[in-house]
Amino acid sequence: MRYSYQREIIREIICSTKSHPTADWVYSEAKKKIDNISLGTVYRNLKTLEEIGSIQIIYDENLIRYDGNTEEHHHLKCSECGVLIDTNIKSNFDEKDIVSKYNFKPEKTKFFIIGKCNKHK
């Protein structure tokens, strides 16, 4: 893939925050560094970066957010303020049970634990 300064800036923006930003936020941050960057460029590169495994997409209810942490990991979501917190909790369910009972072969998991963060309990 050919180098692109725009793509590099977008990658840096996502990888230097833990706030799981949306495309729009990435766009407004990117504009601070490249004032005429196009929103289409942001969307296209978010897609590309996700495809090559540099970032991850998080579907947070009806919001699409991006995460520089590309490890499989799960999230805590505050029902008050919406903050998304990375965790390293392990998902443990009975894989054999799922295979036999539902005739389904698990590959990966996406878990959300919804509750109250330290600011809102």
Interacting residue ranges for DNA, rule: CB under 7 A: 1-7, 22-24, 34, 36-41, 43-45, 47, 62, 64
Q: Report the nearest approach of its own copies to the CB of residue 81 (Å).
A: 12
b vs e for 9-35, b when ≥16 Cβ sit within 10 Å of the residue's Cβ?
Answer: bbbebbbeeeebbbbebbbebbeeeee
**Nearest Cα to Cα of residue 91 among 77, 75, 105, 102:** 75
Task: Give residues in contact with its own copies (CB under 8 A).
Answer: 59-62, 64, 76, 78-79, 85, 87, 89-94, 97-98, 102-118, 121
33 or 110, CB closer to its own copies?
110
The CA distance from 66 to 108, in Å, is 18
Residue type, 77: K
39 or 117, CB closer to its own copies?
117
Q: Report the nearest approach of its own copies to the CB of residue 109 (Å).
A: 5
